[in-house]
Chains A and B, each alone.
Chain A
Amino acid sequence: MNASIIGQMAVSGALMGLVYALIAYGFQLTYATSKSINFGQGELVMVSAFFSLTLTNLGLPYWLMVPGGLLFGALLGLVVERAGVRLALEQKGEGWILLTIIIGLFFFSAAENIWGRDDRPFPTPISADPIHVLGVDITRIELSVAVGVLAIMGLVELFKRRTLLGKAFEAVSADRDAAELMGISATRTVMLSYGLSGSVAALAGILVSPITTVGPTMASALILKAFSVAVVAGLDSGFGVVLVGMFLGALESLASFYLGSGWREAPGLVLLILALALRPTGVFGKATIRKV
Chain B
Amino acid sequence: MKKILLIEDEELIIKLLSKKLDAAGYDVALAMNGQEGIEKMRENMPDLVLLDIVMPRMGGFEVMAEMKKDEKLAKIPVIIISNSGQPLELERAKELGAADWLVKTEFDPKEVADKIQKYIGE
* A and B found bound together: no
Contacts from A to B (Cβ < 8 Å): none
Contacts from B to A (Cβ < 8 Å): none
